[in-house]
Amino acid sequence: MLSTGLVAIDATIVATAVPSIVDDIGGFTSFPWLFSAYLLAQAVSVPVYAKLSDVVGRKPIILSGIGLFLLASILCGLAWSMPALIAFRVLQGLGAGAIQPVSITIAGDIYTLAERAKVQGYLASVWAVSSVVGPTLGGILSSLGIWRWIFFINIPLCLLAGWMLVRTFHENVERTKHRVDYLGAGLLTVSLSLLILGALEGGQAWPWNSSISITVFAVGALVFVAFLFVERRAAEPVLPPWVVSRRLLATTAMISFGVGAAILGLTSYVPTFLEGALATSPVFAGLALAALTVGWPISASQAGRFYLRIGFRRTALIGISVTVIGAAVLALTASSPNVLLVAVACFIVGLGLGLVATPSLIAAQSSVEWNERGVVTGTNLFARSIGSSIGVAVYGAIANAIYAGGPSGGPDPQTTVSASTAVFLAVLVSAVLTVIAVVAMPSKADDAIAAQTAAKTGVAPSQD
């Protein structure tokens, strides 16, 4: 939980400090890269770290990630210019890329099926707390004129997390000779960097139909094709073909993709919607959004009670149904903005996502052995990152088109309502499409896992 907290707090604490950072070191036009560079580095490194954790073990990888995160945090705190800070944020993202998937993989290793849902709820609660603590702490530190401490505060946390892992986490890894797929890892990193960069910056830094946008996507696609050819010949591929050829793993990755798209649609536009349409203060807008991150851990911690009785697939179906209901409430009431109603809708969506994301991830982890669990976990989280990136691109294109056609050509209250309503409808569509992926989860695999659970826990699964 402490290791996860490093990543969770850093994802939110910088936002409120941006004005102070820009006043001190300049670079206003470049500050969005503080977020894009971090997310990009984290996303593209997850599959590589996940594979390495299956090869050399979880402990050295997560400790390396914490060490890299510590070094990058110190460098960020010492940054003398915006380009330097962006470069150090890349390094910080590379550390986060090791911490997040491996911490979840460790939870999958050391807890039983009956315990994992509650543990995943604990990990999800870290994100809920960070969504409130991060922006608040960032605002306090920046208002005191000590914005650099939003990075320096990571130093004791990193040291404590590393010490606790060294002292209490022990694993037995079978030491065998491995052939690391360096070429595959390099090609995957380059291709994903270009594709995610195109999704993040398209319509923002450059037009979608510009030559640079087309070039970025085309080169990224070509490098990815080269990566696929390399993986077919690699002795130990960084992203094994079986990850997408097994139906359970493919469908759970698609579910994670949909979850990522839904999360970013709300986290990106709910505050803008409330602040632009109702002139709500950033604090109240943030609290309305925080209802989502409160609902998620509540349902995630209780998901085990459901999937032990009715199986993973049915639990996820209940969750995605609740998500669709919450998204529908938000989309249908957006034309009449109300802070309380938005908070309730976000809470409902959070409850649903907790019953979707946790069971689908645990189902994927439980279907493989230790030496494959890292790759499976990393693929699931990577799919969520890709869903978030593409979601941001699609939602941004929708909103910008409506803003451009508004009477003022900008974010006046009525245009904000129209743009936000369209985005929330798009979130609803993404939730409905995710239903298809949940329905496609193989029931036979679910039955086999439920039988395994019953044998280990003595809790009999329900029968049709």
The string of pLDDT tens digits covering residues 376-409 is: 888 888 888 888 877 877 887 788 778 777 676 5
Query: Residue 432: which residues within 8 A CB-CB, separation 6 or more?
Result: 324
* Pair (379, 274) in one structural domain: yes
Residue pair 69/96 in contact (Cβ under 8 Å)? The answer is yes
Query: CA 72 to CA 78: how far, in whole Å?
Result: 10
Last residue of a domain, one of 169, 192, 208: 169
Angle at 177 between CA 173 and CA 178, to 5 degrees: 90
* pLDDT number for residue 197: 79
* Pair (192, 304) in one structural domain: no
* pLDDT number for residue 30: 67
Domain count, the chain: 3
Domain that holds residue 222: 182-236
CATH for 123:
1.20.1250.20
* Residue 33 maps to a domain: yes
* pLDDT number for residue 464: 40
| Identity of residue 229 | F
* pLDDT number for residue 63: 95
* pLDDT number for residue 459: 47
* Pair (165, 275) in one structural domain: no
Closest CA to 41 of 16, 74, 7: 7
Closest CA to 304 of 112, 101, 452, 107: 112
Rg of the Cα trace of the chain?
Answer: 22
* Residue 455 maps to a domain: no
Residue for token digits 């919450």?
326
* Pair (40, 137) in one structural domain: yes
Average pLDDT along the chain, 464 residues, taken 10 residues at a time: 86 73 77 75 83 85 94 94 90 91 87 80 79 76 84 93 92 69 82 79 76 91 90 77 84 92 80 76 72 84 84 92 94 86 91 91 86 85 82 78 70 80 91 94 62 51 43
Residue pair 82/26 in contact (Cβ under 8 Å)? The answer is yes
* Pair (259, 360) in one structural domain: yes
* Pair (82, 205) in one structural domain: no
* Pair (280, 320) in one structural domain: yes
* Pair (160, 202) in one structural domain: no
* Pair (64, 202) in one structural domain: no
* pLDDT number for residue 446: 56
* Pair (202, 131) in one structural domain: no
* Residue 458 maps to a domain: no
